[in-house]
Every structure is written in C-alpha cells, then in structure tokens.
A and B are shown apart, each in its own frame.
Chain A
Amino acid sequence: MAIVDTRIETADGPAAAAGGRLRRPTGRAPSEPKAYVGWLFIAPNLLGVLAFTFVPLISVVLLSFTRWNLVSGFGGIEFVGLDNFLAVFQDPTFWRSLVTTIVYAGVAVPLTLVVGLALALALNRDIPARGLLRAAFFVPYIVNIVAIGMTWQMLLDPEAGLVNQVLGVFGAENLPQWFASSNWALPALILVTIWSQAGYANLIYLSALQDAPTQLYEAARIDGAGRWASFRTITWPSLLPTTVFLLVTLFVGISQTFGMIALITNGGPGDSTTTLSFYMYQTSFQFYRFGYASAVGLVTFIGIFAIMLLMWRAQRGRALHD
C-alpha cells in the first residue's frame, strides 16, 4: 500500500483549530492527512460491504418484481410488476406464518426477558461462587444450535424423552406430544428458545445492574421504602434502556430464527412452526421461487422494521414523559 506523505499538507477546519490551540498558539496547525487517506482506510471494508450487502440488497428489491427460478437462467427472469406482493397478501400460508411468528416472538421474547432479569437480580447478590454461577447460565447461549436442537429433540421425545418421563413420575396424564403434535410444537420451540437465550438477557442485565445508582437505594431505605418499592422506583426505571435494547435485539433475532426450525420440525407438523422467516427460507431454497421469496422477505423486513421503530418511539416517549 502506498505510504502517504502528509507533511507538507496544510489544513483548516475544526481539527486544525483544535490542534492549533494545543500545539501552536499562533502558527499553522500540524499537517492534516490528505482526503484520500481516509478513503484508502475504509476501502477494504467498504468494497466488501458494497459487494456482499449493497448489491444483494438492490438485487432483492429488483427480484421481488420478477418471477424467476434459478433453473431457467438469467434469461428466464420475467418482470411481473407488483404481482408478487399482491400474491403475498392473498397467500394463506403467509398469513398463518405471520400469526405463528407473532405468537412465537410475542411469547418467547418477553419470557426470555423475564427469566433473564429474574436470574440477574438473584445473581446480583452476594452468593458463594457467583462468577461460576453466572457463567453456568450463559453456557446454552454459546453452544451451536444443532447440538442444542438435537439434544432437545430427544429430551422432548413424546414416548421415551426425559421430560415426559419426569412429568409421568409426577403423575401427569395426557403428556404433551411436543414436536410430534401441531399443538405442542410451537410451545416446545418457545421453550428451547427461552432456554438458549435467557443467558444472554441475564448477562446484559447483570452488567446494567452494576451501574444502578447505589446512592438512591440508600436514600430510599432511609425513607423507609421496601424492597419492592425500591425495585419499582429505582431499579426498573434505571434498567429501562437495557430492557428496550434487549426487547429489540431479541425480537429481531428470534423473529429471524429459521435454522432451528429447519433442523427440528421443518416447519411442521402441518405448518404449525412455519414462521415468516422459515417460510421465506422454504420458498427460496426448498421451492426455488426466488421472486416470490424476495417479496415475502421484503414485506417481513419492513414489518419487523416498523415494529422496531415503534419500540424505540415508545421508549423515547416514556423517557420524555418522566
């Protein structure tokens, strides 16, 4: 790479002003780098992002207006206007997947948050070997989804799985059929999701709790506030930004899950675990309807994006209100 000589360069602007203030009260600022130096520094990353993100993004928008499967080659691309989008809105599987996604994320995300927060509050106390405990709850999060998925698939086996054996010992009847039944597959998926994600929420909450305003607790105690009162008035408000952050990231992450679904249920039984993101995967890579899949993906993305914006808005509104 070219070594850039910048010594003769003179500069003006805010940086020069700052430099001048510090170094030379009256004289010229130290030489600022030439403009292209910055571009050279970002070039490797920028070119990669252009090639692997921007170009595909434009392509997916264009593809959504076409009917195409890979087999027919580029010559087979057929422009169909808004047909794909119209078809998406008339597609019963799309609507069912939407409902499934809302139920899946709508249950899994808040429960993950609650479990993560409860663990964080419990682990934020002085207990023996606290560091090791914190690590223990985090382990499921760092294990690959295939190992986790296969293990839970066997643990939740309706006949011989450990979970139903234990339930049977406690005298439960009509044991849930988990991944084998269209009623229980989604709850099973939610269970595994919470188990694997709670450690992450726990970790983020723990680090936020460390910044909690300790003086306020003292003050509240002197004022005679009980534990619940000080949680509600001090801890919870101070955790609000963290909660919103987790809500958004978990929602985005969980609503995009398709690997675990592809591995364990392949969307079934029936289409009981076909979420939007699995439906998109299915239309593209099992049915090879690229144009239609692009439209499904765009509609999904815009929907998720809108919900994200609403969450941020709601938080900002509340922050202003307080």
Chain B
Amino acid sequence: MTDATTTATTTTASTTTTTAGGGPGRGTGMAQRQALRKRRDRVRRWAWGIPMWILALVFLLPFAWMISTSLKPDLEAFRIPMQWIPHQPRWENYTEVLFGESSILIPFGNSVFVAALRVLGELTTATLAGYAFAKLRFPGRGKVFIAYLATSLIPAQLLLVPRFVYFEKLGLYDTLWALILPGMFTVLGTFLMRQYFVSQPDEFAEAARLDGANELQIFFRIYLPNALSMISALAILTFVWSWNDYETPLVFLSTPENYTLPMGLTSFTDENGAMAAGLSMAASVISIVPILLVFLIFQRRFVRAMTESALK
C-alpha cells in the first residue's frame, strides 16, 4: 500500500513539474489527488488506531477488574455474571484498608521512608563514584572498575543467605535498614552516572583548575548541575525498584509493623484465612497510585530512565 502511494506521489510531482504552466486544469487535478491521499492517510490512521486501542483496553482489563472489585463486598467479587460497575460502591473498603485494624498507612509510611533514604543514598554515592570513575585519575581505578563490572552480574538473590546471617548478627534483621542499606550502594547506579559523566568534556575541569577551584568545587559547581536530568532519571529508577520490591522484605522482615507496602497488601484475609478480595484490591489500588503518578508526571523522563539504563 505504502509503496503504491509513494509511487503515485512521485509521478504526480514529476508530471506537475514537466507541465508547469500547462493550465489551471492540471493544478486542480493535483489538489484533488492530494485531498484524496490525505483522506486515505486519515482512514489508515484510524484503521490501525482503533484495533490498537481495543487491544490496549483488553490489556488493561485486570486493572479495571481490580478497581471494580475494590468497591465490592468480598463475596460479590466472584458473582457470576461479573458486575463491572457495582450497584452500591462499597467505599468502606477503602476506609477499612486505610484506617482499619491492619491499616495500610503504616506499610505505606515504611515504603516512603525506605524509598526516600534509598534514593538519597543512591544519588549521593552513585554520583560521587560515577564522577570519579569518569573524570578523576587515580591509581587502581581500572582494577576497581573491573571488579564493579564483575559484581554487576551477580544476582542479589545469591547474596540473600549471607546478608540474612549478617543482618541477624548485627541486629538489622526485621528492621527497615535491611532494605535501605544495600539499596544505597548500587553498582548499576554508579555505571549510569559514570556513563553520563564520560560524555561530558574534560575542558571544564581543566579551566576551573587553572582558576584555582578544588575538586569538590569542580564537581558540585560545574558537573553536578549539568547532570540533573540524568540524576532525576536515576532517582525515578531507584524509587520504582524500592517501591515495588517484594522479595527483599519477604526475606528480611517478619513483624507486620515493619512491612513495606507490597508485604502489607497480603495481610487482608477473611475469617477462614483466605484472601479478602475487596480489601486486598482496595489496598492494591492504593499501592499503585504513587507509582502511577510518578509515571504520568515524569513520563518522558521515566521512559528515558528505562531505556537509558537498558542501552548502556
């Protein structure tokens, strides 16, 4: 189809050129064809667009189900046929989840605390180290960097047992610090920042050194302000990892008061110990809101963060 259109366009263009000034009839013919082509393009846009939209809606259907169920009493969740819009939306599910017996607010607060400290720590240590690997010369730099490269291949899962043992001995087991501390010093964050600083020119530093600036001043006043977009990308990534992390708290936390949000979601059960559908879904909706906000507000930067960390 596309091929045909292009050929047609080319022919039209060349005919017009060769017969330029050939009379008004020619000109209107071209205008007509152009209008036709425009309409065809518009039709084609929608012909692709509508099925893709339907597909997207199907893809997002589980979230619609989640929201619908979050507004139903537990028993209604499985009624056949499924009722997408509850007759009487049960907002009490949300008040129960927020302020009830096993309030989601405590895990929510824990998650915010963990994420905030992880982001702060990660940004500090990763920018400093990334900058040094990129812009400062010191003996042993190459060797340390190779050690970092090797480390990046090791799955965190392999380190769970020794970390568990050490945290237990140090009194960090079942505290939020067991999640925060390892998350503050990551190899991947350092790589991302190094990659960014490598792309920056050396001349800034050389000029500043001539003017008598010391290394901290050069870093903070010259390179850091330029790196803000990369730093915010790393902040977003760290926040997402931290907010969604379920496996680390599963291993390192045991008291419900210390749970972070993903763990807290599992604590809504009915009398029989089965999952309480309405409450669990209401809590799930609440857990998604912050991450969705971050995504929608910073969408462009968010996507950049994802692709950037992928392609480097």
Contacts and interface: CB of A to CB of B under 8 A. Distances in A.
B210 A23 contact: yes
A25 interface: no
A44 B129 contact: yes
B125 A48 contact: yes
B3 interface: yes
A305 interface: yes
Contacts of B216: 1, 3-4
Given A60-B162, A63-B161, A146-B246, A19 B206 contact: yes
B173 to A, nearest CB: 10
A270 interface: no
A90 B291 CA distance: 45
Interface string B121-139: 0001110110111001111
Contacts of B133: 42
Contacts of B265: 144, 146-147, 150
B206 A70 contact: no
Contacts of B79: 160
A45 B59 contact: no
Nearest to A260: B246
A30 B53 CA distance: 60
Interface stretch (A94-102, A180-188, A251-259): A251-259
A230 B263 CA distance: 49
Nearest to A31: B209
Interface stretch (A131-139, A171-179, A314-322): A131-139
Contact of A56 (B148, B166, B209, B240): B166
- Band of interface residues on A: 35 or more
A137 B56 contact: yes
B225 interface: no
A240 interface: no
A140 B215 contact: no
A52 B284 contact: no
Contacts of A277: 157
A285 to B, nearest CB: 6
Interface string B85-120: 000000000000000000000000000000000000
B129 A45 contact: yes
Nearest to B300: A131
Interface stretch (A103-111, A200-208, A231-239): A200-208
B175 to A, nearest CB: 15
The CB with the most chain A CB atoms within 10 A, among B2, B125, B168, B281, is that of B125
Contact of A13 (B60, B137, B158): B137
Contact of A144 (B41, B125, B182, B261): B261
B246 A290 contact: no
B82 interface: yes
B30 interface: no
Interface in A221-255: 221, 224, 226-227, 242, 245, 249, 252
B214 A22 contact: no
A60 B244 CA distance: 26
B124 A44 contact: yes
B275 to A, nearest CB: 6
B226 interface: no
Given A226-B3, A259-B246, A52 B181 contact: yes
Given A15-B137, A49-B185, A144 B287 contact: yes
A146 B266 contact: yes
B280 interface: yes
Contacts of B66: 147, 151
Nearest to B6: A221
B138 A70 contact: no
Contact of B262 (A60, A63, A145, A155): A145
A151 B158 contact: no
B129 A150 contact: no
B52 interface: yes
Contacts of B287: 144, 146-147
B187 A53 contact: yes
A284 interface: yes
A191 B128 CA distance: 42
B52 to A, nearest CB: 6
A322 B278 CA distance: 57
B247 A245 contact: no
B53 A256 contact: no
9 contacts: A32-B209, A39-B140, A42-B144, A48-B125, A142-B244, A145-B246, A252-B155, A259-B250, A300-B158
Given A35-B139, A48-B185, A144-B246, 11 more contacts: A3-B216, A4-B214, A30-B210, A37-B136, A45-B125, A45-B185, A63-B161, A123-B52, A142-B291, A161-B78, A204-B307
Lowest 7 CB-CB distances: which A-B pairs, in order?
A48-B185, A38-B138, A160-B78, A41-B132, A147-B284, A45-B129, A56-B162
